[in-house]
Amino acid sequence: MSKAAPGHGESITSHRQGWSVRLGWTAMAIVTIAVIVVSIRWRVAAGATSLPPEFFEAWESLEALRIDEVEKTIDGLMRQRQYGSAYLVLDASLYLIRRDFDAAEARIQASNASGALRPYALELLGRNYYWRNQWYHAEQTFATLAQEFPRSFAAHLWLGVIYHDSHMFGQAMHELQLAAEIQPDNPRSHILQASILYRYGRYQKAAEEYQRALRLIPSNTESDVSSGGPVLTYLVRCLVRDGQFEKGLNQIAALSNPSVELQILRAECFLGLGQLAEAERECRIALERDENQQAAVIALVKVGMQQAVTPEHAQLLEAVFDTNPNDPDVTFLLAQVHGRLGNQPRQQELLSQSQRLLKFRSRSLELMDVIWSQPEDVDSRLKLASIFDEMGDSAQAKQWRQAAASCQHRVKSIKEIQR
């Protein structure tokens, strides 16, 4: 992967933007997981008949968040003494959904789950640790699950999530690929893989993973199907970043009422294809729908750069710059606008700031590559936090410090175990 910073002469939309992707990508992936109803039933050969059929039905109901059905099953199992452990595990799952972590853990421990019930108990225990931000314990629990049940989809998926959140992206990809091999028809591992690939600027491969996920998501479960759900939006974003403008337009064309974000992406596709009138029209419509859409303003200014720059373009983009003073692409574009309008002092000021920000971007990409190859490198995470401090991005700086602390705790815990 090239580490060179993109030059000003390149198209701004083609710049690698992995450095600025927030941990919101993880949130996106998990939210998407929540809205996708995929029934997952454990297949454990040894002792599978020791669990009643109602247990499997209740577990599938949990996946779909049909809580009332699960509660009815639990009531029934309570009356069957031989299924006491199964009752406790299902009850723990409900407490976990309600975020009562102490009660959930107490029931998991009390179940003394073994045999066919053990993988369910381990999964719930691992999730419990995860939601309590006890990531190392969560990792160890899911690692145990993967060791005892190598074909456990949940084990590898959750290990992928944990490594993703710890910014251990190489290891996350490894686990997510294993999860995809175990359940190739499950979209969740593909969604998370795509988010990591996007973060690293590998847009073509990210688009391929989003396409796989879309094919696997039932058409009635993508949120807001008529306007394009989140996975479709991220797919089109990847296609635009990769310069596949025709494919991007084709994806949006299938929608009867595209969202504002997809409309802006359609404008970027038209812009990439040199269809300036169509691009401007889409930007204007998007701004009428939501006047605060900064992406539409940026696209509109890009159209103006290829036609005639006006004071309106400078005014609109200055407002965007006020809220994004550390975005090198916005800064450089605004410098170009002022240069075309003959405002040389402002242009030089912005060019100097843009060059400074591009150096930060280049250095951050180098550090990201180090973290990929050396997942336990705490110093690289701290250096990234310092870069974002210098840029004034306190949120990103905080996230990288948290990732460094998590990584440091993990390394310390492993050393203590090895003693």
Q: Measured between alpha carbons, how far is 321 from 51 in angstroms, rounded to an integer? A: 60
| Helices and strands in the chain: count of H runs, count of E runs | 21, 0
pTM: 0.76
Q: Where in 129-269 does DSSP place strands (E)? A: none
40-86 per-position pLDDT tens digit: 333 333 333 467 777 887 777 777 667 777 777 776 666 555 566 77
- The per-residue pLDDT for range 308-355, each reduced to its tens digit, is 899 999 999 999 999 888 888 999 999 999 999 999 999 999 999 999
Buried-exposed string 31-69: b where 16+ CB fall within 10 A, e elsewhere: ebbeebebeeebebeeeeebbbebbbbbbbbbeeeeeeb
pLDDT tens digits, one per residue of 75-121:
666 655 556 677 788 888 888 888 999 999 998 888 887 888 899 99
Q: Binning pLDDT at 50, 70 and 90, where does residue 15 land?
A: very low
Structural domains present in the chain: 308-409 (1.25.40)
Going from the C-alpha of 396 to that of each of 19, 317, 340, 351, 384, the distances in angstroms are: 10, 24, 34, 24, 9
Query: Of 253, 262, 194, whose CA–CA distance to 233 is shortest?
Result: 262
Element at 264 (helix H, strand E)? helix 260-272
The predicted pLDDT at position 80 comes to 59
In this structure, what are the phi and psi dihedrals at residue 92, rounded to the nearest 5 degrees? -60, -35
Angle 351-353-354 (CA atoms, 0-180°, nearest 5)? 60
Distance CA 279, CA 269 (A): 8
Length of the chain: 419
How far is the C-alpha of 222 from the C-alpha of 259, rounded, in Å?
A: 14
